[in-house]
Amino acid sequence: MSAQELAQQELRRLTWHSRRGMLELDVLLLPFTENHFMQLNETDKAVYRRLIDCEDQDLFNWFMEKSRSPDDEIQRMVEVILAHARQG
């Protein structure tokens, strides 16, 4: 399997895991994954992978800005995703 095929396979897996079943999260995570994930550097890709492993309720609170992640890297990724969403 080529590197490009592996990257596409990972993108499909991450897109699937980004589907949370909560509209508020899906409208943020799915477009970001589909349109911006591949442009992230390797460090940020790893942070995104950690982000989508978090509990839905935590994600909801972070993205709705009701609370902040205790992990500074994850909080930064939340802010990056929100910035992309606000840009439209």
* Domains of the chain in sequence order: 3-87 (1.10.150.250)
DSSP state of 71: S
Task: Specify the pLDDT at position 52.
Answer: 96
- Angle between helix axes 3-18 and 42-52 (nearest 10 degrees) is 30
H or E segment to which residue 21 belongs: none
**pTM, entire model:** 0.89
Number of continuous H segments (helices) and E segments (strands) in the chain: 5, 0
List pLDDT tens digits, range 22-36: 999 999 999 999 999
